[in-house]
Structure 1
Amino acid sequence: MNEDRLRATEQLRRELKTIAETVEHPNGLCTVTASPRGEIRALHLHPALLTQGAQAVGQVVTETVRLATDAAVQRSFNRMALALGDGLAIDVESIAGDSPFRATWNPVVTGEPPAEQAPPGRERRAPLPDDLDEDAFFENRLWLR
C-alpha cells in the first residue's frame, strides 16, 4: 500500500510539472498559456490591441497572465484533490490559501475594442453574473477549452 502511495505521489509530481492553462482575455485581444508558477509559455496578441498603446497592452497582458496562472493553479488544486483526496486537499488549501476560483472571480476588462478593431470571427461573450458563489469555477467558460 505504501508503494502505491509513493507511485501516486510521484505521478502527481510529474503531472503538476506539466500543467499549463490557456486563457483568452475577456476582450478577445490576448491569449496566454501559463504554468501555475506564472511562467508564460505562449503569448498571442491581436493586432488591434497593439494600436491601443503601450499602457493598454501591458494592462491586458498582465490581466491575461494572471487569469491563466489562476486557472493553472486551480487545475493543480483539482489534480491534487483527485490524487490525494478532498481531506488532504483541504489541509493543503488551509496552508497555501484558497484556490483561485474559490474566491470571487471577476476579471477586470479594459473595455470593448471599437467594432472595426474587433477580432474577425469572434462572438462577444455574455458577461459573468456578479453573484458568483464559491463553486462558480465549474461554470467558468475559460475551463471549457
Structure 2
Amino acid sequence: MNEERMQATERLQRDLKAVAATVEHPNGLCTVTASATGELKAVHLHPALLNQGPQAVGQVVTETARLATNAAVQTSFNKMALALGDGVAIDVESIAGDSPFRSTWNPVVPPKSAAPEAPAERRPRTPLVEDPDEDAYFENPFGRR
C-alpha cells in the first residue's frame, strides 16, 4: 500500500512537470504555450499584431502568457484533485490560495485603437410581453410569448 502511494506520488510529480497549456488571445493575434511555473514554451504572433506597435505587442503577449499560465496551473490543480482526491486539493488550495479559475476571472483588456469608437445608438426598449393588461412587475424576461 505504501509503495503504491509512493509510485502514485512520483507519477503525479512527473505529470505536473509536463503540464502546459496553449491559449489564444481573444483578439486572435497571439497564441502562447506556457507551463504552470510560467515558463513560455512557444509564442506565435500574427503579423497584424506587429503593425500595432511595441506597446500593443507587449500587452497582448503578457495577457496571453498570463492566461496560458493560469490555464496550466488550473490543469495542475485538476490533475492533483484526480490523483489525491478533493479533500487534499481543498487543503492545498487553503495553503497555496485558490486555483486561478476559482478565484476571480481576470478579463483581458483589448488594446486601445488609434480611432475612438462611435457610441452605439440606443434603441427604445420594447416590452417583452405584448399583453396590455400584463402587470410589468411580474413580467418574465425569460419566457417570451
Q: TM-score, normalised by structure 1?
A: 0.75
2:30 alignment partner in structure 1? 30
1:41 alignment partner in structure 2? 41
Task: Calculate percent identity across the aligned residue pairs.
Answer: 77
1:100 aligned partner, one-letter code: P
2:91 alignment partner in structure 1? 91
Report whether the alignment pairs 1:2 with 2:2.
yes
- Aligned partners of 1:32 and 1:44 also within 8 Å: yes
- Give deviations 1:55-77, integer Å, cap 9, x for gaps: 00000000000000000000000
Deviation at 1:105, TM superposition (A): 1.4
Q: Indicate the SS of the match to 1:65.
A: helix
Q: Indicate the SS of the match to 1:3.
A: helix
2:2 aligned partner, one-letter code: N
Are residues 22 and 112 of structure 1, via their aligned partners in 2, closer, same or farther at CA, if it must alter by over 3 Å? farther
1:61 alignment partner in structure 2? 61
Deviation at 1:108, TM superposition (A): 1.6
Q: Indicate the SS of the match to 2:106.
A: coil
1:51 alignment partner in structure 2? 51
- Aligned partners of 1:30 and 1:60 also within 8 Å: yes
Deviation at 1:112, TM superposition (A): 8.7
- Give deviations 1:7-56, integer Å, cap 9, x for gaps: 10000000001000000000000000000000000000000000000000
Deviation at 1:109, TM superposition (A): 3.0
2:138 alignment partner in structure 1? none
Structure 2 runs not aligned, ≥5 long: 114-145
Query: 1: CA distance between counterparts of 2:93 and 2:109?
Result: 28
2:66 aligned partner, one-letter code: R
Query: 2: CA distance between counterparts of 1:37 and 1:21?
Result: 11
Query: 2: CA distance between counterparts of 1:112 and 1:32?
Result: 21
Query: 2: CA distance between counterparts of 1:39 and 1:56?
Result: 21
**How many aligned residue pairs are there?**
114
Q: Indicate the SS of the match to 1:110.
A: coil
Query: 2: CA distance between counterparts of 1:103 and 1:14?
Result: 26
1:104 alignment partner in structure 2? 104
2:17 aligned partner, one-letter code: K
| Structure whose CA Rg is larger | 2
Deviant stretches of 4+, over 3 Å = none
- Aligned partners of 2:20 and 2:34 also within 8 Å: yes
Query: 2: CA distance between counterparts of 1:33 and 1:80?
Result: 21
